[in-house]
Each structure stands twice: as structure tokens, then as C-alpha cells.
């Protein structure tokens, strides 16, 4: 029994030594190798029992942009005014704005220099569906987007814009294009921007309003001979007055040879300079009781034989008359003409002023082709310039009286 106990004790001591060796790491004996194997097994067991640390993320979570995009009108809007589209950004800058109609046609526009807004190049089309997509980025590059869809209104009323230009016609170098509207214009700036002039030589044309229904256009100086012009009306989507819109069309015309006529009322002479070549014609201007306007006028129309009656002139003095006047060309709305005169003696022309404000040249009844007025009439164009000087009339010719806008300085045009 004692021996058995001793063996057991030895075994216990050996186990303790092995355990101690295992904990201490051993120094290369067979017991050490076993200890290492036991350590590996223990480590594996410990690893399976304890939770492991989470793996490092492969990418950062998306940043929320501080930029915000706003689009007006809101999605689903209908009966939208063509100029109501507004795209803006806060907390960042717009980077992309796409506006397309239902056919996929893109609306051109411009992002402002500060990136805060986008503006279409022209009003949107009426009665059209649009889709808007916009994107903005903040200072860190984080992106925000917004979308909208809407439909513009269909006009219920139209305003007619008529002018004094015929397609493919030829006009003088003083031609002023005068546009008259059938309704009072409220949005004058938008309407003026909706009528543009395309010229083949870069001539710049500007508009000037006379009242609420008339808009006249001219260049700074007289047109150059041979200039080809196209007037573009783009008023279909322009609100002329509340709820009232215009129409679109194009009108081409050409500027012909240069003819500038200067009437010296005191000398009873008219000097006509055609393409740089001058010639003088004897005339009779307005009598002292009815002097001719001073200033620059333009031939508005060539009307042939016109019935002229003294009864139509307010405040007319002197003998009444009712005449069929040949070769009449209108210079003002108020009734100033350059025309043929067959009722005055030949000695009147170049010597005396006897008319009721018109400029008269020698002619025969019914109009003669070879008379002074007949030749001048045949050689003249609507748009030719006539300047009157040295008349005793003191009042200033109203620039709105006829095509007399050349009397307005360019700085005020």
C-alpha cells in the first residue's frame, strides 16, 4: 500500500512539474515540445471562446452635403408662366442644371458666377411640359440634387404686333422699324428683348418706346447701303400684358442705296445726295402762317395721288382748298408731305414758300414722269431721309410724329 501511494505522489509531482514547465515555456526538451503543443491548443481554444475585434471598414460613410438646391415651380405644377422657372442653391454652388421639354430638347441657360442661381436664355415655351434636374456641391465636394416637372400655361389672349416692314422689301438708309401693339404693353423690357435684329455687317439696333403701344427700332447712325436685316419676333412666350401673349415670326429686308435730302426752307432749295453725288432742286416750303417743321424726317410711305383738304387741318387759315395732290410721300403722321405742286406758278419754286407746311416740287396735274417731283418720287424709297432746316417754325418736331426718331440722341434712345 505504501508503494502505491508513493507512485501516485510521484505522478502528482510530475504533473505539477509539467504544468509548471508548460506555464514557463520550457527550454527545448521533449517536455518543452509537448508544452508548446499544449499552449497552441490552449490558445486556439481561448480564441474560439473570446469575441474578436471588428474588421476595419473599407470606405467611409457618405457625407451629408450642406448644399441645398431649390427649384420653382414645384413638381406637378400646371399653368406656369414662361418666366417663372427659378433654380438656386444655398450652402454650396450649382454645378449642373438640365431643363428639357417633353421632346428632349434642352433649354439653354447660364449658371451665375457665384453658383447661386441658373437663368434660362429665354422664356420657356407656352403649353409645354418640362423636366428639371439640378445638382450643387458644398465646399467639401458633397453633392445635393433636386428635380421638378411642370407644364407652362396655354395663352387665352393674344396681342398683335404689327410693323411697317414687308418681307424682302428694300428701304432707305434712314429706315426706322416701328412696331405697334394692339394692347397696352406692361412688360416693356421683356417685349423689347423679344424683338431682335440680325444684320450681316454687325449693325447694332436698339428700341425706344413711344407710349404703351409703340416700340421703334433704329441703329445709332443711318444704315449702311446693302445691309441685310432679319427682324426676329419671339413673343409667343412673352407676357405682353397680364394673361396676354404675342406670336413668333421673322421678317427679312434690305437697305438700298443711300439718299439723303436736305431742305433749306430759307433758300427754297433741296439738295439731294445719292451715293455721295449731290444735286439741287427748287422747292416751296411752308408759308409763314404754316411753316414746315425743322428736323430729320423719313419718308414713311409713297402714296401717289392723295386728296388734301384744308378742312382737315386744325386752325388752318387762308383760302380753303380741296386738291388731288400727285406724287405724295408722307413725312409725318400729322400730315407733312413732300409732294408735287401743279397749282402754283413756275416762279414760285426756288423763290417763295407758299404751302401749308409741306415741301412742294414742280409737277403737273395727275403727276408727270419728267417733272422735278416725278423724278424725285420715282427715285425715292420708303426710309429715305429728309432734313429740313432754316424754317421759321420754332416748335420742335415730336420724334413720335412719323419716323422722326433720328431727332432723339442715341444716349437717350
Average pLDDT over residues 282-311: 94
Query: How much of the chain, in percent, has pLDDT values that exceed 90?
Result: 79
Does the pLDDT of residue 33 top 70, yes or no?
Answer: no
pLDDT of residue 301: 98
Phi first, then psi: what are they for 19, rounded to 5°? -65, -45
**What stretch of H or E contains 319?**
none
Question: Across all residues in the chain, what is the average pLDDT?
Answer: 87
Question: Given pLDDT bands bounded at 50, 70 and 90, which one contains residue 254?
Answer: very high
**pLDDT (tens digit per residue) in 186-245:** 999 999 999 999 999 999 999 999 999 999 999 999 999 999 999 999 999 999 998 899
CA–CA separation, 191 and 205 (whole Å): 15
Question: Given pLDDT bands bounded at 50, 70 and 90, which one contains residue 309?
Answer: confident
CA–CA separation, 309 and 306 (whole Å): 10
Beta-strand runs (E) in 31-128: 68-72, 77-80, 86-90, 93-101, 109-111, 117-120
**pTM: predicted TM-score of the whole model, two decimal places:** 0.76
Does the pLDDT of residue 412 top 70, yes or no?
Answer: yes
pLDDT of residue 271: 98
Burial class of residue 55 (count of CB atoms within 10 Å of its CB; 0-12, 13-18, 19+): exposed
**Please, are residues 389 and 264 in contact by the beta-carbon 8 Å criterion?**
yes
pLDDT of residue 310: 75
Average pLDDT over residues 291-310: 95
Scored b (16 or more CB within 10 A) or e, 191-217 reads: bbebbebebeeebebebbebeeeebbb
pLDDT of residue 16: 34
CA–CA separation, 391 and 393 (whole Å): 5
pLDDT of residue 150: 97
**What stretch of H or E contains 179?**
strand 177-181
**pLDDT (tens digit per residue) in 93-135:** 999 999 999 999 999 999 999 999 999 998 899 999 999 999 9
**pLDDT (tens digit per residue) in 325-337:** 999 999 999 999 9
pLDDT of residue 190: 93
**Please, are residues 136 and 67 in contact by the beta-carbon 8 Å criterion?**
yes
**pLDDT (tens digit per residue) in 46-84:** 344 444 455 555 566 678 999 999 999 999 999 999 989
Amino acid at each position: 500500500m505504501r508503494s502505491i501511494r508513493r507512485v501516485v505522489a510521484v505522478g502528482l509531482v510530475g504533473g505539477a512539474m509539467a504544468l509548471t514547465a508548460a506555464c514557463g515555456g520550457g527550454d527545448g526538451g521533449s517536455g518543452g515540445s509537448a508544452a508548446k503543443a499544449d499552449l497552441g491548443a490552449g490558445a486556439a481554444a481561448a480564441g474560439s471562446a473570446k469575441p474578436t475585434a471588428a474588421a476595419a471598414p473599407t470606405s467611409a460613410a457618405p457625407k451629408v452635403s450642406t448644399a441645398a438646391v431649390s427649384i420653382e415651380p414645384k413638381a406637378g405644377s400646371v399653368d406656369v408662366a414662361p418666366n417663372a422657372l427659378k433654380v438656386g442653391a444655398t450652402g454650396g454652388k450649382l454645378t449642373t442644371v438640365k431643363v428639357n421639354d417633353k421632346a428632349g430638347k434642352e433649354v439653354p441657360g447660364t449658371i451665375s458666377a457665384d453658383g447661386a442661381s441658373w437663368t434660362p436664355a429665354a422664356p420657356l415655351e407656352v403649353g409645354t411640359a418640362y423636366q428639371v434636374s439640378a445638382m450643387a456641391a458644398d465646399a467639401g465636394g458633397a453633392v445635393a440634387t433636386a428635380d421638378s416637372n411642370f407644364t407652362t400655361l396655354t395663352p387665352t389672349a393674344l396681342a398683335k404686333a404689327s410693323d411697317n416692314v414687308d418681307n424682302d422689301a428694300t428701304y432707305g438708309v434712314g429706315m426706322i422699324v416701328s412696331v405697334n401693339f394692339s394692347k397696352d404693353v406692361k412688360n416693356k423690357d421683356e417685349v423689347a428683348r423679344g424683338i431682335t435684329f440680325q444684320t450681316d455687317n454687325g449693325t447694332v439696333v436698339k428700341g425706344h418706346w413711344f407710349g404703351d403701344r409703340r416700340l421703334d427700332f433704329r441703329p445709332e447712325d443711318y444704315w449702311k447701303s446693302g445691309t441685310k436685316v432679319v427682324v426676329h419676333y419671339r413673343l409667343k412666350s412673352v407676357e405682353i400684358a397680364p394673361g396676354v401673349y404675342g406670336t413668333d415670326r421673322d421678317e427679312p429686308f434690305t437697305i438700298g442705296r443711300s439718299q439723303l435730302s436736305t431742305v433749306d426752307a430759307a433758300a427754297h432749295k433741296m439738295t439731294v445726295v445719292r451715293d455721295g453725288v449731290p444735286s439741287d432742286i427748287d422747292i416751296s416750303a411752308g408759308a409763314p402762317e404754316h411753316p414746315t417743321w425743322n428736323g430729320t424726317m423719313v419718308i414713311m410711305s409713297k402714296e401717289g395721288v392723295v386728296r388734301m383738304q384744308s378742312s382737315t387741318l386744325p386752325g388752318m387759315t387762308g383760302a380753303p382748298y380741296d386738291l388731288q395732290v400727285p406724287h405724295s410721300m408722307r413725312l409725318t403722321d400729322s400730315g407733312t408731305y413732300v409732294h408735287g405742286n401743279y397749282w402754283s406758278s413756275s416762279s414760285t419754286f426756288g423763290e417763295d414758300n407758299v404751302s401749308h407746311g409741306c415741301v412742294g416740287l414742280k409737277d403737273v396735274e395727275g403727276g408727270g414722269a419728267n417733272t422735278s417731283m416725278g423724278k424725285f418720287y420715282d427715285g425715292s424709297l420708303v426710309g429715305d431721309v429728309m432734313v429740313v432746316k432754316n424754317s421759321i417754325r420754332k416748335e420742335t418736331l415730336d420724334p413720335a410724329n412719323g419716323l422722326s426718331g433720328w431727332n432723339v440722341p442715341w444716349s437717350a434712345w
